[in-house]
Amino acid sequence: GCFECCIKCLGGIPYASLIATILLYAGVALFCGCGHEALSGTVNILQTYFEMARTAGDTLDVFTMIDIFKYVIYGIAAAFFVYGILLMVEGFFTTGAIKDLYGDFKITTCGRCVSAWFIMLTYLFMLAWLGVTAFTSLPVYMYFNLWTICRNTTLVEGANLCLDLRQFGIVTIGEEKKICTVSENFLRMCESTELNMTFHLFIVALAGAGAAVIAMVHYLMVLSANWAYVKDACRMQKYEDIKSKEEQELHDIHSTRSKERLNAYT
């Protein structure tokens, strides 16, 4: 009894949705956690080594944009935590265990609409995560250039290389926030662990965004399979209803004829 109950419970677990949910949570956690810390490290680097300061008032500068990105990260973490739970519930909704509890009719009528809705929503989220992945690659590229300049100064003696923030759009054209290899701030930045840590945090955040994209693709496959399942179940249910109705009609006709023969005989 207990063993059969355990087997039945394990058979009702949507393993495909479970794997996709774990991958989604891991990707979102990496992106949000590492992205938040990398943005904080970027603020420290800009203030310490590039000698940039926050603009007073409501001016939209790079520090305000970083704060906005942090709030966006908070929203992404909360939204996809809830969305992962909803997708897991949808996975359980279309399993055989729930089908045995509630019957075919409720599964096919509700599950088909729910699966179609989640397919559309997941597709839109997949496109959004593709955009997030492309956007996250920009700071990785910027930090790679900065890391390369630091590395080249140790390989090429006497090289005077400069990095101007205007070429990345961080500051306006009128501002000159340039740091060169001959300056003391540049040497301190290259020797510090903060630059290396921030660079690798952005790389991990990029990997997390890529994992979220893979999770969305996995979810699309699972949801498409679930939608096909409930669609076939709906057709099977209609076939069973028609078949039962025809059998009942034949049974009624046979009963009526038997009664007529019995009356005629008597």
Residue 154 has pLDDT above 90, yes or no: no
Is residue 18 a part of any domain in this protein? yes
DSSP single-letter state for residue 167:
G
Is residue 59 a part of any domain in this protein? yes
Q: How confident is the model at residue 58 (pLDDT cuts 50, 70, 90)?
A: low
Is residue 173 a part of any domain in this protein? no
Residue 104 has pLDDT above 60, yes or no: no
201's CB contacts (< 8 A; 6+ apart) are: 34, 35, 37, 38, 41
What is the model's pLDDT at position 72? 92
Residue 251 has pLDDT above 90, yes or no: no
Is residue 257 a part of any domain in this protein? no
Q: How confident is the model at residue 232 (pLDDT cuts 50, 70, 90)?
A: low
Of 44-53, 71-80, 243-252, give the lowest mean pLDDT range: 243-252
What is the model's pLDDT at position 192? 83
What is the model's pLDDT at position 117? 83
What is the model's pLDDT at position 54? 77
User: Which of 86-100, 164-178, 224-238 has maximum average pLDDT?
Assistant: 164-178
Query: Please, what is the average pLDDT of the chain?
Result: 78
C-alpha atoms less than 13 angstroms from C-alpha of 116 in its C-beta half-sphere: 8
Task: Please choose, from the candidates 36, 1, 60, 18, the residue with its C-alpha nearest in 3D space to the C-alpha of residue 219.
Answer: 18
188's CB contacts (< 8 A; 6+ apart) are: 49
pLDDT digits (tens, 9 = 90+) for 40-56: 999 998 888 887 777 76
Give the start-end residues of each E strand in the chain: 162-164, 178-180
Is residue 212 a part of any domain in this protein? yes
Is residue 161 a part of any domain in this protein? no
More confident residue, 197 or 106: 197
Residue 76 has pLDDT above 60, yes or no: yes
Total domain count for the chain? 1
What is the model's pLDDT at position 204? 95
Is residue 184 a part of any domain in this protein? no
What residues make up the domain containing 68?
Answer: 14-153+194-233
DSSP single-letter state for residue 165:
G
C-alpha atoms less than 13 angstroms from C-alpha of 212 in its C-beta half-sphere: 33
Render 177-209 in DSSP notation, one character per residue: -EEETTSHHHHHHHHSHHHHHHHHHHHHHHHHH
Is residue 264 a part of any domain in this protein? no
**Maximum distance among all alpha carbons in the chain?**
123
What is the model's pLDDT at position 97? 41
